[in-house]
């Protein structure tokens, strides 16, 4: 039964983390007084590295719980659990490393300034848009999966 609880709770907690970090904290930090683009991006690199690590732990536990209680994960819930895991793999192995090259260059450029100049960079790169799209996919799929598993457990 504990595996079923994990299959309900972890997708919902994961959704909450994505919502709080990706869609609330990240955009708001760039509005803080004195926040340069380079500093915000540097903070973001650290935050998203740790977020992806925690998400990977959640994904492993979800997969383990799924093997213990496969009967509560129907086809729709299974697809909706697999999509965020696939999105996370894409983000961690492809997108975040590609964005890291750009953000390291931005940090190096910022280091040559005295700190009073906000270094501007193009945010809407195809890689960044793909990362945001993967976050949206996770934010849509995870709560629905959690609710579907909850409904299956309740039966």
Burial-class residue 24 by CB neighbours within 10 Å (0-12, 13-18, 19+): exposed
pTM here is 0.88
Are 141 and 80 in contact, with CB atoms under 8 Å apart?
yes
pLDDT in tens, 16-75: 999 999 999 998 988 888 888 778 888 888 999 999 999 999 999 999 999 999 999 999
Closest CA to 42 of 121, 116, 126: 121
Are 121 and 37 in contact, with CB atoms under 8 Å apart?
yes
Spans of all domains in the chain: 2-154
pLDDT in tens, 95-141: 999 998 877 777 666 556 554 444 444 557 899 999 999 999 999 99
């Amino acid at each position: 039964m504990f595996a079923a609880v994990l299959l309900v709770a972890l997708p919902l907690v994961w959704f909450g983390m994505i919502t709080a970090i990706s869609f609330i904290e990240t955009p708001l930090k760039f509005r803080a007084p004195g926040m340069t683009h380079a500093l915000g991006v540097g903070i973001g690199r650290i935050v998203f590295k740790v977020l992806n690590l925690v998400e990977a732990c959640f994904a492993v536990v979800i997969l383990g719980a799924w093997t213990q209680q496969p009967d509560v994960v129907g086809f729709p819930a299974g697809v909706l659990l697999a999509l965020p895991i696939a999105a996370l793999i894409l983000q961690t192995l492809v997108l975040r490393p590609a964005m890291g090259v750009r953000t390291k260059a931005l940090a190096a450029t910022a280091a040559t300034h005295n700190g009073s100049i906000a270094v501007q960079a193009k945010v809407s790169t195809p890689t960044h848009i793909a990362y945001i799209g993967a976050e949206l996919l996770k934010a849509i799929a995870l709560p629905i999966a959690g609710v579907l598993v909850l409904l299956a457990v309740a039966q």
